Structure 1
Amino acid sequence: MTSPNIYQQAVRDIYEAIAGEAAVKTIKAQYNAIIEGKTSTHEADLYWEFTDGDITYKAVIQAKEQVGLGELFTFLRTVRDIPGQVMGVIVTQPVYQKDIKDMAANAGIILYELIAPVVQDIWEPVISNIQINVDKSWVKAAKEKVGLGDEPVQMNANPKYTFIYDERGNCLDSVQGVFDSYSRRRAAAGTGLQTVVHTFAVPVFLQTNHELVPLIKLDNITFDLEFVNVNQMPGEDMLASILNNILRYFGH
């Protein structure tokens, strides 16, 4: 059995995403479809029929590694033989010929162009569920010392610009720098979700926006770290783009 190329896989991902599409109501979604036209039956990698509540739309989606004028004419005959508000979609590599692009646009055919990914997967870190935890007892004592009581002391909320200082006020790092150090370590160690609790060997402090308590002691930083493959093409994103193009073409 031959493995699907990225264009065939993209169509499969689009098909799987249809089940979760809530912006319109799906009437029919068929993979490796046989479609009844006005004069004959037609094969398609994916057939999607849906309604916005007023109008029923039909999308005929094909995967093609390359698109020439011959393939475009053949596909256009298929699309025009199907009754109703029909849009053709070809998932393919980038098309640079102006005549093909112009013909597709005039005929109501979407050229969904994908750039083939590099052989090696590219994994990017995703940081979430960030908690910057201060030493509460230290902060309470520091506030009482200057008579602040329960008055809140604000810190910078952006990790990139939240700097970490030692007791003498020397800048040691930033919160973003802590994230980056774990990202570098984990890049070659797998892609599963990990919850990190980062502690410090020596007392460290964060800068505040309060003149009476300019620094407060930091206890630890916790966050979730996960690596995602940036070469993966989410089917939901591709489906949303196709849906928007169909509705726009028919003047929705």
Structure 2
Amino acid sequence: MDTKLYYEQVVRDIYEAIGRGTSVQTLAVRHNSLLQGKTSEHQTDVYWEFNDGELTYKTVIQARETATLDELFALLRIIRDIPGQTVGVLVTQPVYKKDIKDMADSAGIILYELFAPAAQDIVEPVIEHVRINVDKEWVKHEKEKAGIGDEQVQVMKQPKYAFIYDGQGHCVDSVQGIFDSYSKQRQGMPAGEKQAIAHTFHSPAFLQTNHALVPFVKLTSIEFDLEFVKVNELPGEEMVEYILSKVFRYFGR
């Protein structure tokens, strides 16, 4: 496949994955359409507006064979013309120039770098079916102490991006850090082979909640499936989750 067409196909895969459903509420998603800004219309490959339960985000996703300063400035003009919390995503070949990366960082543009299909031997870890297991008896006891009865205590909307604390309230790891640790340990796994991982905690570990009276819940384990896939075969759902992680990190979520 022609390199330019490959990156355009990646963007179509992302659009179709958003349409199949994501971990956030999609408010609007459009493919290859004109987007009305404050001052003018803009041609966009994908426009995605979504809500994480608290805030609304707007994402403009463009596919370009090569990331240049001109392409970054063009995308910057679009995201600055769209009101609200807006970021840009440029799907492109790996970027090695420091000025391009620095410009993207300062402009709020996420560089989604993918090798073209010729690089068949390059694989990336994919994490799926994440299950955060809490100590239900511990949580029940803490709720009774707080006098909130059966009131629901929820962790943040995207727990995989959350930090893990010890019994003294010190940050000791993150859920993503656990994913990364197992991915590093299992480098060399054949592409397409999936492993079920159950990470248990040998000392008390806690995840932050959004409840003032029960600010933490005690964890028992984190379960997930780990698979290594060729970068040019990344499923759309995984690419969407990657974009979500970058958007939330950019806005400090």
User: TM-score range, shorter-chain basis?
Assistant: 0.5 to 0.7
Tell me, in whole angstroms, the C-alpha distance in 2 between the residues paired with 1:230 and 1:79. Answer: 28
- Cα 1:93–1:120 shift into 2, 3 Å: closer
- Cα 1:87–1:229 shift into 2, 3 Å: closer
Q: Where does residue 16 of structure 2 map in the other structure? A: 16
Q: Where does residue 39 of structure 2 map in the other structure? A: 39
1:51-70 correspondence runs (5 A): 51-70=51-70
Indicate conservation of the 8 Å contact 1:121/1:231, yes or no. Answer: no
Runs of 4+ in 1 over 4 A off after TM superposition: 119-122
Q: Where does residue 238 of structure 1 map in the other structure? A: 239
What amino acid does structure 2 have at the position aligned with 1:30? R
- Cα 1:34–1:22 shift into 2, 3 Å: same
Indicate conservation of the 8 Å contact 2:37/2:81, yes or no. Answer: yes
Tell me, in whole angstroms, the C-alpha distance in 2 between the residues paired with 1:120 and 1:246. Answer: 28
- Cα 1:90–1:229 shift into 2, 3 Å: closer
Tell me, in whole angstroms, the C-alpha distance in 2 between the residues paired with 1:230 and 1:96. Answer: 18
1:126-137 correspondence runs (5 A): none
| Structure number with larger C-alpha Rg | 1
Tell me, in whole angstroms, the C-alpha distance in 1 between the residues paired with 2:231 and 2:69. Answer: 32
Q: Where does residue 113 of structure 2 map in the other structure? A: 113
Aligned-pair CA distance for 1:54: 1.6
Aligned-pair CA distance for 1:74: 1.5
Tell me, in whole angstroms, the C-alpha distance in 1 between the residues paired with 2:23 and 2:90. Answer: 22
Aligned-pair CA distance for 1:3: 9.8
Identity of aligned residues (%): 59
Tell me, in whole angstroms, the C-alpha distance in 1 between the residues paired with 2:92 and 2:34. Answer: 21
Aligned positions, number: 148
Aligned-pair CA distance for 1:119: 7.9
Tell me, in whole angstroms, the C-alpha distance in 2 between the residues paired with 1:22 and 1:111. Answer: 21
Question: Which sections of structure 2, spanning at least 5 residues, go unmatched?
Answer: 123-228
- Cα 1:230–1:32 shift into 2, 3 Å: closer
- Cα 1:121–1:5 shift into 2, 3 Å: farther
- Cα 1:230–1:10 shift into 2, 3 Å: closer
Tell me, in whole angstroms, the C-alpha distance in 2 between the residues paired with 1:48 and 1:28. Answer: 6
Indicate conservation of the 8 Å contact 2:4/2:65, yes or no. Answer: no
TM-score by length of 2: 0.54
Tell me, in whole angstroms, the C-alpha distance in 1 between the residues paired with 2:99 and 2:120. Answer: 34
Aligned-pair Cα RMSD in Å: 2.5
TM-score by length of 1: 0.54
- Cα 1:119–1:230 shift into 2, 3 Å: closer
- Cα 1:6–1:83 shift into 2, 3 Å: same
1:101-250 correspondence runs (5 A): 101-118=101-118, 231-250=232-251
- Cα 1:62–1:231 shift into 2, 3 Å: closer
Tell me, in whole angstroms, the C-alpha distance in 2 between the residues paired with 1:35 and 1:112. Answer: 21
What amino acid does structure 1 have at the position aligned with 2:100? I
The 3-state SS of whatever aligns with 1:83 is coil
